[in-house]
Structure 1
């Protein structure tokens, strides 16, 4: 929570920094899922990675910040999914945006009310589903995720149906061929 408060203050002051560099996505996803697997297992949930092996998964991001965003999204999915449930980190093709990689975090959880999907990325935003003593938080995580993804030149959104789960989507700039070979 302290880290979230500090990042929120940095974002408000324009001091939330990212240091993008050519980065492979798959190892960050594997590490994030490995770190959060005990929490998921304790709740009776399965975590999956569904990244195509043939996909070009090099992006220009700050690996620490990408790990932070993925950890927040997967942790939220764990909080809002009941057993038996699944959480999958995957990839989606956006035909109209070939210059970006779209990562997804999909859960079989409680979903989000249609009127709440836009405002969940606002600072201190919590929905009726999040105001529950078992789900502690300040309502800053998705705001920080949104700020970090925007600072990478990407965007983040959610597709959800109440009672049917959610898919959080985020875009990241792909590395150009010259960028990926120069490091």
Structure 2
């Protein structure tokens, strides 16, 4: 029976007797570790392959842990084999009772995760390179864009002074696009700071409803298609970074406006209790599918509408907001149904 079990398993697997001699091994073991059955069976495990299996950690597992626990799982062992080179393995072992008249066997599975680890390390390296590139590119873009912004405002002022309102309006539109570019650069810089643990926070007490009112007033000026309705409970003073929390609220409202092309109302509501405050922004726009909700707060996650239209943006805003809320020991979530709108919420404790 034990031999049938060994042969069936696809990962490298060997069966050992109580003296740690190999009773049998499967094909995957022989292929992975480049050994033959006659060199393996009935041999002491530690003597295999010119004692390549005489691994201190393996001795500890089989000699000390297994006799007392009957099994061990997910032990990672890294070893440099003479014939096949460096391997990273996950070891699992279990004592298999064969019946009253037979001695128990030890089943030892050896999963080779070397390539997986290499792929993970390569992915992490690529992520670091990408973050470094984003950081450098953002810094390099920031200065010229700031200069363009300044010259644009000067040009607009001159057109207005000369009475050329048509040209002033055109430059004003250009200025608005520069603001969008500035915001994108700001998001990229925030992401690199978050990843490097360098995003700065300046915490202090502030009136929560006062902050909401300021942002709602500012956002209402930017949209003529939507009415921003405030349903706020009694205000509370909370401690945190006022500007960063404002950034979160602004992001919620910007998204609600962006994704509510055919709706005209956006509701901002709060709830307070002895533990903290909660803010929710409800829109009646396109809504978000369950599959999209799962990745919504990840970097570069973007929503595709039901008509396959991709909304503008790089998919960084909600990632940044979620990191800001986490930094304040708060919670962030979304409730949404496709075609019926979304409600984005965050809660913050009164005391950090």
TM (normalized to structure 2)? 0.45
Deviation at 1:88? 1.4
Which one has more relative contact order, counting CA pairs under 8 Å at least 6 apart?
Answer: 1
- Alignment-derived partner of residue 106 in structure 2: none
**Contact 1:60/1:172 (8 A) holds in 2:** no
- Alignment-derived partner of residue 207 in structure 2: 24
* Cα RMSD (Å): 1.9
Aligned: 1:140 with 2:316: yes
**What is the CA–CA distance in structure 1 between the aligned matches of 2:255 and 2:206, rounded to whole Å?**
24
- Alignment-derived partner of residue 251 in structure 2: 72
**Contact 2:268/2:280 (8 A) holds in 1:** yes
Aligned residues: 168
Find the residue that maps to 2:261 and give its secondary structure.
Answer: coil
Matches within 5 A, 1:105-116: 105-116=281-292
**Contact 1:124/1:138 (8 A) holds in 2:** yes
**What is the CA–CA distance in structure 2 between the aligned matches of 1:174 and 1:82, rounded to whole Å?**
35
- Alignment-derived partner of residue 196 in structure 2: 13
**Contact 1:155/1:170 (8 A) holds in 2:** yes
**Contact 2:209/2:235 (8 A) holds in 1:** no
- Alignment-derived partner of residue 232 in structure 2: 51
**What is the CA–CA distance in structure 1 between the aligned matches of 2:286 and 2:232, rounded to whole Å?**
24
C-alpha offsets along residues 87-137 of structure 1, whole Å, 9 cap, x if unaligned? 11111357xxx412111111111110011112110000012139746x321
Aligned: 1:172 with 2:351: no
| Structure ID, larger Rg | 2
Find the residue that maps to 1:109 and give its secondary structure.
Answer: coil
**Contact 1:22/1:61 (8 A) holds in 2:** yes
Q: Which runs of 5+ in 2 are unaligned?
A: 1-183
Deviation at 1:76? 0.5
**Contact 2:208/2:235 (8 A) holds in 1:** no
**What is the CA–CA distance in structure 2 between the aligned matches of 1:36 and 1:71, rounded to whole Å?**
8
Aligned: 1:62 with 2:241: yes
**What is the CA–CA distance in structure 2 between the aligned matches of 1:26 and 1:93, rounded to whole Å?**
11
Deviation at 1:70? 0.5
Find the residue that maps to 2:228 and give its secondary structure.
Answer: strand
**What is the CA–CA distance in structure 2 between the aligned matches of 1:139 and 1:125, rounded to whole Å?**
5
